[in-house]
Structure 1
Amino acid sequence: MSTHSLVSAFYGRVWNAGERGALDDLVTDDFHFQGSLGAPVIGRDAFWGMVSFVRGALSDYHCTIVDCVTEEGKAFARMRFAGTHTAPFRGVEPTGQRVEWQGAALFEFAGDRIGALWVLSDTAALDAALAG
């Protein structure tokens, strides 16, 4: 699978579809994740906890790849994130409002899997959307 295909499958299967089993196919056992929405996590189970939390707080959560540039061993994607705020999130009680924000993701690959991911999100825009 190409690096671009791995990035697409990661967002499509894991984040958008909530497919836990996809992590076995797409990320390494010791996958390292650092994002703007929480503390760094290491490993599939810890990462799945993060995915489940975000998807639980923002129903119909969806990640859209706006742009993606790949080179051997790395990929960079400009992202759009969106969902409906239906559970407590970032210290805010559910508003029922649709929220949307953007971010950037830097992937590092280990063989045919994703070994690490660093995501920087526009949390100011997210927090403003949550505040209404």
Structure 2
Amino acid sequence: MATPAENKEVVRQYYEEAFNEGRIELLDELIAENVVNHDPVSDETLTPEEARGFEGFVRHVEAAREAFPDATVTIEELIAEDDKVFVRFTFDGTNEGPFAGFEPTGKRVKGSNMILMRLEDGTIVERWEESDNLDFLQQLDVLPATEELMKAKA
């Protein structure tokens, strides 16, 4: 069984090396074959069944990189206990490909995310994400700004 420190290193490698550096080949060693990704904004072209498992997880990462090719994740906090790792990070990137059913906007966005991952034997087996999707979609100009929504209700 991996230690909390070893699990933190796996999660750090996932974000800083596999995602930021585009080293998708690292997913083979970081992600379990039967991984479950509980992501509210996963690739809309995948069914829930297709989004599960290693291939669905890889597609999720590829879709994010296609939508935001210059994306970077900056880890703000990394906390581990037993088999779980919590990571809070900021995401920064320019929308140059389809995202969440919307066409590319060319807009640069920045947002914060919180992820909880469960690991077994040094690989990620489950992932839950919480993020401010309203703010993110408003930055992309695919949804009206909060002020505009409030005026429309009045």
Same fold at TM > 0.5 = yes
The residue that corresponds to 1:115 in the other structure is 125
Which position in structure 2 is the counterpart of 1:3? 7
- 1:59-98 matched pairs, under 5 angstroms: 59-98=69-108
Structure 1: state its 5+ residue gaps: none
Is the contact made by 1:104 and 1:121 (CA closer than 8 Å) also made in structure 2?
Answer: yes
- Identify the structure with the greater strand proportion: 1
TM-score by length of 2: 0.78
1:40-67 deviations in Å (ceiling 9; x for gaps): 5222211111111111111201111111
Q: TM-score, normalised by structure 1?
A: 0.90
CA distance in 2, matches of 1:117, 1:21: 19
Specify the code of the residue in structure 1 equivalent to 2:121: G
3-state SS of paired residue (1:131)? coil
User: Structure 1: how far apart are the matches of 2:58 and 2:99?
Assistant: 17
Of 20, 29, 35, 2:33 maps to 29
Q: Which runs of 5+ in 2 are unaligned?
A: 143-154
Letter in 1 for 2:63: F
Count of residues paired in the alignment:
132
Q: Which has the larger radius of gyration?
A: 2
The separation in 2 between residues aligned to 1:129 and 1:92, in whole angstroms, is 13
Equivalent residue letter for 1:66: E
| Residue aligned with 2:102, SS | coil
Per-residue deviation, 1:128: 0.9
Aligned to 2:61: 51
Task: Please tell me whether the aligned partners of residues 92 and 130 of structure 1 are also in contact (alpha carbons under 8 angstroms).
Answer: no
Cα offset, 1:121, TM superposition:
1.3
- AA paired with 2:30? L
